[in-house]
Amino acid sequence: MLTTMADEDRIDGLPIHIIHGRRDWMFPIAMAQEAQQHLSRAGAAVTYREIEDLSHSYGAGLSVMILDWLLA
């Protein structure tokens, strides 16, 4: 849905970081995988990480990694 409504020039090369827990009780892992596939096909620069023991939140340990990615 996002890729069909967004401007192609805006998505092309857009950096997107998806972190998804395999134990997420709210959104199935397949939803994150599908988002990664669609966004990548639309031209976004997608970084995708699945975390085995993560549910619908992330721990403070990932904050540094996320901040580093945002600042890069």
| 6 pLDDT higher than 80 | no
**pTM of the predicted structure, to 2 decimals:** 0.75
**Residues 52-66, mean pLDDT to the nearest whole number:** 81
So what's the pLDDT on residue 40? Answer: 93
Q: 19-58: per-residue pLDDT in tens?
A: 899 999 999 999 999 999 989 998 999 999 998 888 888 7
Record the tokens describing residue 25, joined without a space: 């009780």
Helices (H), the chain: 2-5, 8-11, 29-41, 61-71
| 2 pLDDT higher than 70 | no
